[in-house]
Amino acid sequence: MSPLNNLELLSPAKNLECGIAAIRHGADAVYIGAPRFGAREAAGNSIEEIEKLAAEARLFGAKTYVALNTILYDNELSEAERMIHQVYEAGADALIIQDFGILEMDLPPIALHASTQANNFTAAKIKFLEAVGFKRAVLARELSLQQIGEIAAETTIELEAFVHGSLCVSLSGQCYMSHALGGRSANRGACAQPCRKKYHLTDANGKTILQDKHLLSLKDLNRSDSLAELAAAGVRSFKIEGRLKDLDYVKNITAYYRKEIDRILEDKPEFRPASLGKTSLFFTPDPAKTFHRAGTEYFLHGRKEPVAGLDSPKSTGEELGVVTKISRDSIQISGSFVLANNDGLTFLGRNGESTGLKVNSVTNGTIYPDKMNDIFVGARIFRNYDQAFQQKLNRKTAERKIPVSISLLSIPNGFIVRATLVVAHKELSVNLDGAATRDAHTELSVKMEKVPANDPAKSRENILRQLAKAGDTPFLVRETDTGGNEQFFFTSQQLNEMRRGLLEQLYAERISKRALSDPLKPNSKDASEFPFPIDNLHFENNLSNRLAVKFYRRHGVDNPSLGVEKRPLYGRLQIMITKHCLQHELGFCHRYGGNFPSQFSLPFYLQQEANRFELEFDCKNCLMKVFLDTSVEQ
């Protein structure tokens, strides 16, 4: 871990607008898609947009990470290498990658982060990543606190963990369902999300166990109650999922986690902020009020609560209560809440479908929706669109300011105005530029005649007042010091011009200076010293180009197999491996106190339209595997 113990809030950027919003709502770093080859094919960004975002981030000492985390084909290697140099020149601080063939390229001195798509599931794998030059590993979402702590104890690589957002049901990088069904590979950023569809669950004899349920669709991750535990376990970057999410989500969720991490920083002196500036919020963030499929900590504290949302993959929002009364065109709901016209409501209909209503009006607690949609007494009602909250999000919702002190110094032919960054912390002030900010300052020299002041007290008052103004700049003047120069007379215009010129210079320096970091390039030592931790390298390691094959051979793998995307599909193919277990979800697992029903027999099958998938339960390792027999016409 970093000896400074910086805690980083890492937010997603669908585009430049979302990235800037994330920074201004308190993110210490943002991750954004490269123009191509990101794990969200629909979230690519131009080099110019990345450059603008990197400048905005540098202003606050924040970082910009570029996702280039798909597997590459041979005919794409040259373009990918060229793009890596372009994003580095644009100011990116790190590259998030899955394809190890990239380590065989001629890379600029940019830090490498191993994407969760690289299946960072074991200490052995993460020790290997550290040995070959990665600065950071993005941990598998399925890891428990204990497992994270064990990994942190065995490595010094930075550890990043997801704390919020949508969950892939499969171990990351280990899902081939979309590719097998329609040629849209998740490892190529084009997942069609078949996991969010409805399935029937049947047993070996064709008996129906469940019908028309979203059996592979997980709830959304929410680990906001466990951030301090994650920090104690060794996590230093807290990642919000959402490179396809809209601006409202980025604002709300970033602001929420900023507040939560600030609480840790206040309570735990061993941790430090990872960037500069104080964020002021003009709304109260609430994760339930933007895209939200209930919530789960997943397996952070072991296998406990159900993790799937069997009824619907849609955003549920916040639960309000249950329907207590129905009239011809109105309903009443239990609970204490305030509804407004145009609020959106949902409930689970008798047919098992998630159904929506829009509030037309509310009178004395009676709700008049736009349509009744077969709503019934006892239905649980959720609000997935809060009109009042949305109106707040549409306005200015945050402001981020960097505290500075300004002092006035005398020189023989005039004066110097000096701005010094003020970093509030219990110990030595340090930011991620790698330099102590206690002495970091910007100076502006001004030649001017020194005129004695008739009234030094009034001169002092004017100096302090004019130097303290920062206006619409990203700076907040916390302290001013006359340096004893109240003995001289200054016009307000002179002082304003001095201050304005100083802050403009400080701004220019902040956005133009590349952050000083310690990027780790691939290790130049004999690769045989770092053998890949898996002897039998099969298709699940996702090799798809000659450089990846070269990398694995250099690290002791004799006959690395090509990935699913580069071979014909035939026979019984494992298309998914997941920690989500339907036996546990349905209460059938003996290990966790369940009982397997005597009327059903293994194996179980998932049926979706013409597609039939066999389930295999690896109870020893607490995993569920999904198979598709590609030799059988579906």
Spacing of C-alpha 545 from chain mean position: 28
**Overall fold of domain 6-167+221-275+283-289:** TIM Barrel (3.20.20)
What is the rounded distance in angstroms from the CA atom of residue 19 to the CA atom of residue 13? 4
Per residue in 195-237, pLDDT tens?
999 999 999 999 999 999 999 999 999 999 999 999 999 999 9
Distances (CA, A) of 330 to 114, 349, 366, 376: 53, 17, 7, 11
End-to-end CA gap in the chain: 49
- Dmax over CA atoms of the chain, in Å, equals 101
Q: Which residues, given as ranges, of the chain have pLDDT below 70?
A: 1-4, 39, 41-42, 424-440, 513-528, 535-538, 631-634
Q: Find out whether 111 and 86 touch, Cβ atoms under 8 Å.
A: no
Q: Where are the alpha helices (DSSP H) in 91-185?
A: 123-131, 145-154, 177-182
Mean pLDDT across the chain, nearest whole number?
91
pLDDT score at 478: 94
Domain boundaries, the chain: 6-167+221-275+283-289, 318-394, 403-512, 525-567
Number of neighbours of residue 620 by Cβ within 10 angstroms: 6
pLDDT score at 1: 38
Q: At what angle do helices 492-512 and 456-467 cross, to 10 degrees?
A: 30
**Domain 318-394 bears CATH identifier 3.40.50.12160:** no
Extract the runs of DSSP E, i.e. beta strands, from 364-440: 366-369, 380-385, 398-411, 414-421
| Residue 37 φ/ψ, nearest 5 degrees | 70, 30
Extract the runs of DSSP E, i.e. beta strands, from 465-553: 475-481
pTM: 0.93
pLDDT score at 427: 36
What is the rounded distance in angstroms from the CA atom of residue 169 to the CA atom of residue 218? 6
| Residue 550 φ/ψ, nearest 5 degrees | -60, -45
